[in-house]
Structure 1
Amino acid sequence: MKQSILGSLSAEAFLKSYWQKKPLLIRQAIPDFQPPLSADELAGLALEEEVESRIVLEKGEKPWELRRGPFSESDFTNLPPSHWTLLVQAVDHWIPDVHSLLEGFDFLPSWRLEDIMISYATDGGSVGPHYDHFDVFLIQAEGKRRWQVGPVYDASSPKLENTDLHILSEFEVLEDYVLEPGDMLYLPPGVGHHGAAEGECMTLSVGFRAPSHREILMQYTDFIADQLPESLRYSDSDQTLPTRKGEIDEKALDRLQHILKEHIEDRSMLAEWFGEMMTQPKHEQPVEEPWQSWEHLIEEADDVELVLNEGSRLAFKEEKKSLILFADGDAYECHSASTRHLAQELCQNSQLASEQWCTVEDEETREWLLDLINSGCIYPLFDEEAED
């Protein structure tokens, strides 16, 4: 039985008392933790064009200078000896050992997880006191970092000017912790925090996807509108003689509200949009030459497991007679019992053993699996990949 990342606290107790409510420090959440990559390997990722990275210098050309990658080796050699931080986003998409850490967060829906950002900081390195709009678990990977935790802040809280960073200009310290490798600090949205490296250190930030109300309204209404024909128009067959010619009366607003409710309250439409949005990958998945047929796939990969691409995202929604699998922003309607079973298995375990998929006989499931492989969502794990 694997050890919980929440220590002695049960998942139920965490969700009831802490999740989106108050911070929590867990000492040795991951005992004997070993960093999944070195600082040099992290810097190597920051050289890549497709990897999102930043460097924050507290004392750069201006206070709290932000530089964006990709970087070059000379960018690193010209940095000062202290007070700077390298941040690399979505490292779990590129490094399988980092991606495997997400298994420890199975007490939350997988579609809520965003990514794992890793930061390397020299002595005194920091990004300033700030708050996030989403939940975050901060896992100390190497060295020590001091975290000062404050109250809840919002958009009205004063910020420093003349910097691209959202740094709080007034920060109240309520708690003060020094985290060592394996320690973890959970922070709900809005909680102010300030982390500074004590010597060189590396920290993993497990973030969660939380669309704003603005995004939800804009994207969902766009999604609905794209599917409606031009022939659907405002109508007022119940119109009566207006008392004042230019007035927008209550009946007109009632008609408009009815139109909005008719579409917004369509839960099947809402589920389809939400599933597609919450599984949109941060980066396009690499796809090698596509498999031309099921027979070709079986011939080459009949004894290997299929695994979820580290950068892919899955979710599902059960309907009365089918199941919709959302994979990397696409929706797959699964009708057969075989497809429904394998879809849920893939969401639960992120892999399918060879005996689970090679014996599939119905055409729907075969086409579905082939589509997922050719889209880059899942891939056959051949021996050389397993050894790597």
Structure 2
Amino acid sequence: MYQLTFDINEFLANTWQKNPVLLRGAFKDFVDPISAEELAGLACEEDIASRVVNTTADGWDVIHGPFEDYSEYGEQNWQLLVQAVNHWYPDSQPLVEAFRFIPDWRFDDLMASFATPKGGVGPHIDNYDVFIIQGEGERRWRVGDLGNYQQRDNNPDSPLIEDFEPIIDEVLQAGDILYIPPGYPHCGETLTTAMSYSIGFRAPSQQEVVNELADYFIDNNLGSQRFTSNDEPSSPGVVSTSHQQGIMKLLAELANNPQAYQTMMGKLLSQNRFELDICPDESITEQELIDALTQGATISRIGGLKVLKLEDDSAQRIFVNGEVFELNELNAETLTLLTNQVSFTSEQALALIDAEPQLQTLFTQLLSQGFYYLAE
């Protein structure tokens, strides 16, 4: 179990999305949730996003996985990064749980890193919030202030920026956490062979929301209302200010109508950027589920799965990995329980099914689609 030592309420009120901070000893007696060897094993897999960043005299080279061997990189100047470790390695889930004081819809993934001395990724800026947790070994982190920074070598395609003046320059040790909001430049350098973990939280951009909304309207033949007016400009080639504002008001009306956007929003926010370890069990029946639970099985979500409900939703439903599950017969408390709890013991599941029979069908459906699994 990973228990944070800092005041979460104080952090949310004064630091979250406001300014970077180093939280010394944020985890007491921190234990790495995964070993370097196990991380290297994940990086062998085709479906798992991984990369090696190799520090060279001219900068940084990025080599994308999968990887079978690391001997060519030597004993220093490189770093292995594996995305969405929580999707594939269940023992990492307790570390993720420690950060669920931030809503699940924002959660992106748990990235794990193995780095040799002098290994790093160079100065860069992220567009999401990140908690960097130091495991075994030591890394030096520098964080700069908000500002306008040139991309490395004036290359618009480079993920790196030119160097910056640090406002934080510290060496992290096991259990320390560095929190960095979007827009702050940062750079890590490995001092001794080290493991570290990045837990990212991301919100959709305006482009993503507009694109998703447009697709939803087209697919469902919605948003057909057209602009009308009572005043026309005296010049035929002029688009008046009132006409401009009236056309854009059509979008504002949709944005203020929950029935127009809620389905789109639930589907968008419940999706993942990275592959999930989905293994469908299409043959399972509702009776087989009851038999398994009676024998002591536990129902658990697969790693990284998002199960969400919208407050004040216009329908009784949950959203799972971009899919909608209508649950008209369930009460609001049970819906909230489904979204908050990642696993159910046999006793809990049987009691819930007894109280809410629709859950037997729902759990069977979630198992058949591979979103949940049965464990002993």
Task: Please give the TM-score of this superposition, normalised by the length of structure 1.
Answer: 0.87
Residue 220 of structure 1: which of 206, 213, 218 is its match?
Answer: 213
Q: Distance in 1 between matches of 2:263 and 2:280?
A: 28
Is structure 2 residue 369 aligned with structure 1 residue 378? no
Taking the aligned partners of 2:212 and 2:243, their CA distance within structure 1 comes to: 26
Q: Is the 8 A contact 2:135 2:194 kept in 1?
A: yes
Instruction: Supply the distance in 1 between the matched residues of 2:29 and 2:114 (Cα, whole angstroms).
Output: 19
SS in 2 for 1:199: coil
Alpha-carbon distance, 1:129 to partner: 1.3
Q: Deviations over 1:52-109 (max 9, x none)?
A: 001111117x531111111222xx1111321111111011111112121111112211
When residues 243 and 203 of structure 1 are mapped into structure 2, their CA distance, relative to the original with a 3 A threshold, is same
Gap runs ≥5 in structure 2? none
Q: What does residue range 13-24 of structure 1 map to in structure 2 within 5 Å?
A: 13-24=10-21
- Of 275, 294, 300, the residue aligned with 2:266 is 275
Kept in 1, the 8 Å contact 2:131–2:179? The answer is yes
**Partner in structure 2 of residue 120 of structure 1:** 114
Q: Using a 3 Å threshold, how does the CA distance of structure 1 residues 89 and 101 change in structure 2: closer, same or farther?
A: same
Residue equivalent to 1:386: none
Tell me how far apart the structure 2 counterparts of residues 86 and 51 of structure 1 sit (CA, whole Å): 13
Q: RMSD of the TM alignment (CA)? A: 2.5
d(CA) in 2 for partners of 1:142, 1:196: 14
Q: Is residue 2:284 matched to residue 1:287?
A: no
- Distance change >3 Å, CA 342–CA 355, structure 1 → 2: farther
Q: Counterparts in 2 of 1:139-150, with a 5 A limit? A: 139-150=133-144
Q: Kindly provide the CA deviation profile for residues 141-164 of structure 1, in whole angstroms up to 9, marking residues without a partner as x.
A: 1100011121124xx520113696
Q: Is 1:185 matched with 2:188?
A: no
How far residue 241 of structure 1 moved from its aligned partner, in angstroms, is 7.8
Aligned to 1:65: 61
Cα deviation digits, residues 162-186 of structure 1 (max 9, x gap): 6965222131122211111111111
CA contact (8 A) 1:325 1:333 kept: yes
* CA apart distance, 1:250: 5.0
TM superposition shift of 1:135: 0.8
Distance 2:261 2:232 in 1: 38
Structure 1 residues 252, 343: CA separation in 2 closer, same or farther (over 3 Å shift)? same
Contact 1:116 1:206 in 2 (8 A): yes
The amino acid that maps onto 2:216 is F
Whether 2:7 is the aligned partner of 1:10: answer yes
Partner of 1:367: 361
Question: Partner amino acid for 2:63?
Answer: R
Q: Is the 8 A contact 1:322 1:336 kept in 2?
A: no
User: 2:336 aligned to 333, 340, 344, which one?
Assistant: 344
Q: Is the 8 A contact 2:133 2:196 kept in 1?
A: yes
Q: Deviations over 1:283-336 (max 9, x none)?
A: 144224324421122123333221111131111124478532111111222222
Q: Is the 8 A contact 1:85 1:119 kept in 2?
A: yes
Q: Which amino acid aligns with 2:136?
A: E
Task: Name the counterpart of 2:347.
Answer: 355
Separation in 1, partners of 2:240, 2:156 = 49
Partner AA of 2:13 in structure 1: K
Residues 1:257 and 1:63: Cα distance change in structure 2 (over 3 Å): closer
1:56 and 1:65 in contact (8 A); partners too? yes
Cα distance in 2 for partners of 1:346, 1:320 equals 16
Unaligned runs of 5+ in 1: 383-388
Q: How many residues align?
A: 371
Deviations 1:246-289 (CA, angstroms, capped at 9, x unpaired): 44345644552343233232223323222211111321442243
Any idea what the Cα deviations from partners look like across 1:173-222, whole Å, max 9, x if unmatched?
A: 22211111111111111111111001211110011122222222222233
**Match for residue 97 of structure 1 among 82, 88, 91:** 91
Q: Is 1:39 the equivalent of 2:36?
A: yes
Tell me the equivalent position of 1:300: 292
SS in 2 for 1:120: strand
Deviation per residue, 1:14-60 (Å, 9 max, x gap): 11110011112122211111111211211111110000001111117
1:151 pairs with 145, 156, 176, which one?
Answer: 145
Q: Give the whole-Å Cα distance in 1 for the aligned partners of 2:232 and 2:117.
A: 76
State the percentage of identical aligned residues. Answer: 32
TM-score, scaled relative to structure 2: 0.90
SS in 2 for 1:152: coil
When residues 250 and 326 of structure 1 are mapped into structure 2, their CA distance, relative to the original with a 3 A threshold, is same
**How far has the Cα of 1:240 moved from its partner?**
7.2
Indicate the residue corresponding to 1:80 in structure 2: 74
Q: 1:131 to 1:50 in 2, by over 3 A?
A: same
Could you list the per-position Cα deviations for residues 333-355 of structure 1 after superposition, in whole angstroms to 9, with x for gaps in the alignment?
Answer: 222235x4443223222112222
Secondary structure at the counterpart of residue 127 of structure 1? coil
Q: State the secondary structure of the residue aligned to 2:98.
A: helix
Which sits farther off after the overlay, 291-300 or 241-250?
241-250
SS of 2:363's partner is helix
